[in-house]
Amino acid sequence: MDGRKSSDRQLVVEAVAEREVIMTRAVAAPRHLVFDAWTKPEQVPRWLVGPVGWTMPTCKIDLRVGGAWRYILHGPNGTKMGMKGIYREISAPDRLVFTESMDDGEDDSEKGATPMYPGESINTLTLVERDGITTMTLHSLYPSRETRDGALASGMEDGVAMSFDRLEAILRA
- Please state, in angstroms and rounded to a whole number, the distance separating the CA atoms of residues 14 and 24: 9
Question: Mind listing the domains of the chain with CATH numbers?
Answer: 4-172 (3.30.530.20)
Residue type, 12: V
Q: Model confidence over 88-125: pLDDT tens digits?
A: 999 999 999 999 998 876 655 444 444 566 789 999 99
**Residue 86: strand pairing partners:** 68
Q: Model confidence over 10-51: pLDDT tens digits?
A: 899 999 999 999 999 999 999 999 999 999 999 999 999 988
Task: Extract long-range pairs of 98-103: CB within 8 Å, 24+ residues apart.
Answer: 98/69, 98/122, 98/123, 98/125, 99/123, 100/140
Please, is 83 exposed, middle or buried when counting C-beta atoms within 10 Å of its C-beta (0-12, 13-18, 19+)? buried
Cis status, amide bond into 57, omega within 30 of 0: no
Task: Please list the alpha-helical segments (H only) found in 8-155.
Answer: 31-39, 44-47, 145-153
Sign of CA dihedral 154, 157, 162, 163: positive
Predicted TM-score (pTM) of the model is 0.88
